[in-house]
Amino acid sequence: MQRLAKIIQTKQQLLDLLESREEEMIEIRRHLHQHPELSFQEKETAEYIINFYKGKDVEIEKNVGNGYGIIVTIKGDRPGKTIGLRADFDALPIQEETDVPFKSKNDGVMHACGHDGHTAYMLILADCLIRLKTSIAGTIKIIHQHAEETPPGGAKSIVESGSLDDLDAVFGTHLSPQQPVGVVGYRSGYAMAGRSYFKLRIQGKGGHGASPHRANDSIVAGAYFVTAIQTIISRRLNPFEMGVVTIGSFDGKGSFNVIKDAVELEGDVRYMNDATKERIEEELQRMVKGIEVEFNVECELTYTPDYPPLYNDPTKTGEVVSILESANDPVITKLKELSPSPGSEDFSYYLQKTPGTFFFIGCRPEGVEKPYFNHHPKFDINEKALLVSAKSVAHVVCDCFQIE
């Protein structure tokens, strides 16, 4: 009974500490929002994070992976499991169009995906855990990750660094304006799509628009490819499989009466499992060979897999849902099972190595029925979601990992 009472008391201490520091979370988020930095360029943001931990009883590992990654290790007074908590901190090449007083000061760069909020809540949560570290049985590694937005991303290199080889579980969250504040979304199993990038250069034979028979028109070949490639999804995949192929760039600008010598196309592929990924790539390669024969052109295809599908461990996901459902925390109003998302996340690399789960925190701005989605120049969040994020992760830490 004494041990149970101690666990309850310490957990309440942590939750009370987080509530008392909500305004500080908001201040940090606004500071970061004003000073966004692009993937692999987050020097000042990383320095800000490191300075936050200076003088605290933790181990700080800097420049982890292929950029400015930071791992902060909080060691409890007693042995136990080792868990990882991740928050990303890069921004996007977007010109901000919001009206907030803490608008981005960096022209053409914006925190349009909520990573400023992820970092803000994680800093305060980590600091509160440091204050209570004598009650922790085990080790908590705070993963401040750079470059989530731009492949190859930061997660893969952090995993490959070996700094997280001792993790027993890993958890992450993402702010979601599609849900109101208080809603925590989850998905067991495949939750987010993997993605690949491709670039196709079609080399034809240029000529005069009046004499097409003397040329091999690369634009016609490219236009055929744009249409034909959609049959990979409609005629080569099982209708119950998720797959998307998008042509995002078609560089064929020239003169109105000149047959273009060469064109370049760039595209994006999404899939929910590795089998679908391999099938789409195989069919795309086959179709490119057909274009060469059909139009007598030469094709150069670059195909690069980026982030793998994100797979939430069913056991860990179930544990998180059970913990949050029984938390009876007034800031968590609803647990909601979400549909799989076609978006991608390099948190998937952590989950490939370590069981865990990635869940979503509602942040819809008050009074807004149709919020702007992530990556929009008018993207904004309800800052009350920061406390929801911090307390949700705190409940998981306390109940799963013997904080007493």
Catalytically annotated residues: 90, 148
Cis amide leading into 93 (omega within 30): no
Question: Distances from the Cα of 101 to the Cαs of 31, 32, 33, in angstroms?
Answer: 11, 13, 10
Handedness of CA 286, 288, 289, 294 (dihedral sign): positive
* Cα 187 to Cα 185: distance, rounded to the nearest angstrom: 7
